[in-house]
Amino acid sequence: MSTQSFGLLKGKKGLIFGALDDRSIAWRVALACHREGAEFALSNAPIALRLGQLDALSKQTNAPIFACDVSKNEEVEQLMHQVKDAVGEIDFILHAIGMSPNIRKTKAYTDLNYDWFHQTLDISAISLHRILHYAAENVNIMRDGGSVVALSYIGAQRIFSKYSDMNDAKALLESIARNYGSRLGKRGIRVNTVSQAPTITSAGSGIKGFDGMFTFAEKLSPLGNPSADECADYCVTLFSDLTRKVTMQNLFHDGGFSSNGISEELIADLSTIYASESSS
Ligand SMILES: NC(=O)c1ccc[n+]([C@@H]2O[C@H](COP(=O)([O-])OP(=O)(O)OC[C@H]3O[C@@H](n4cnc5c(N)ncnc54)[C@H](O)[C@@H]3O)[C@@H](O)[C@H]2O)c1
């Protein structure tokens, strides 16, 4: 992580969802926001807080922690009141939340458990709508000119089989970001998704076949896979005043993966594999 502070978030306040352990993208974003001078609250599901790791981040960044299951209206509403009391009105929100019971329990996409599918969509996508509803409308703790970033994955546009129903969740997440962004523009509030490359975190490595997806992306991307810290630096720019007219976008943060067809390295590797296959 860059150790230099540019003071990009001086005077800004925020709310960061999804820091579980020190590999979490949200954890790295919290450190980067702290480095840039922001003040913020941290939130995660009650079960995640029971693991106890978030206390260390809270101490390091002077951030209060609030439990909230983002699939529950009343918990999200209560959270906004708690954040307002503890931090005041906020300028930015990070949504770094994803979960699929179907992937966890290795259900095939063609044989999904529909209750779990609803949970996948609710926790990973509809929660962005719910958070925006309470943060920017109902309780309204969001300041005009603020910025909201939700983390996505290229499975929203192209199917990665191992990503199963999360492909659908990310497509919905990106659509909600556009839809809500169009409504909040009149207040100068922007809503974007950052489509991050495979990153070694608890959620990422919980996907069967993740290593293959990680290596494939690493070999195809001209710049290589970005780390969670690099993702955090990018999120900081989107929370800052330097990106005030960027909204309703899905922004690829993937080292060029999404625009590259194939790389010289992959061609060489595949030629070797298939040459040995055809000679055996
Ligand atoms: N790791 C990757 O390869 C990768 C790539 C692209 C996008 N992303 C996205 O980045 C985001 C953060 O994931 P991560 O990789 O840092 O993993 P992570 O496991 O550290 O974070 C996921 C978070 O979601 C939280 N969560 C799950 N259910 C919740 C609920 N009901 N209420 C509130 N919080 C809940 C978890 O507690 C956890 O903190 C996710 O949206 C993920 O899809 C990850």
Q: What is the CATH number of the domain that holds 112?
A: 3.40.50.720
pLDDT tens digits, one per residue of 134-190: 999 999 999 999 999 999 999 999 999 999 999 999 999 999 999 999 999 999 999
**Active site annotation includes 153:** yes
Domain with 204 in it: 13-279
Q: How many CB atoms lie within 10 A of CB 262?
A: 10
214 against 2, higher pLDDT: 214
In a domain, 149, yes or no: yes
Q: Please tell me the residue having the least CA distance from ligand 1 atom 37.
A: 48
Vertex 103 angle, CA 98 and 106, to 5°: 165
| CA–centroid distance, residue 71 to ligand 1 (Å) | 14
In a domain, 5, yes or no: no
pLDDT tens digits, one per residue of 62-82: 999 999 999 999 999 999 999
Q: In what order do the strands lie in the sheet with 142-152?
A: 65-67, 39-44, 13-17, 90-95, 142-152, 190-196, 250-253
Q: Which atom belonging to ligand 1 lies closest to the Cα atom of 200?
A: 1
What's the total number of domains in the chain?
1
Q: What are phi and psi of 142, to 5 degrees?
A: -90, 130
Instruction: Locate 1 and state its tokens.
Output: 């992580």
In a domain, 7, yes or no: no
Q: Please tell me the residue having the least CA distance from ligand 1 atom 20.
A: 24
In a domain, 3, yes or no: no
- Structure-token match 């919290």, residue found: 30
Residue of 109, 153, 180, 274 marked active site: 153
In this prediction, residue 280 has a pLDDT band, given cuts at 50, 70 and 90, of low
Q: Which atom belonging to ligand 1 lies closest to the Cα atom of 213?
A: 3
In a domain, 193, yes or no: yes
In a domain, 99, yes or no: yes
Q: How many CB atoms lie within 10 A of CB 236?
A: 24
In a domain, 6, yes or no: no
Instruction: Locate 222 and state its tokens.
Output: 């001209």
Report the alpha-carbon distance of residue 51 to residue 171 in Å, rounded.
30
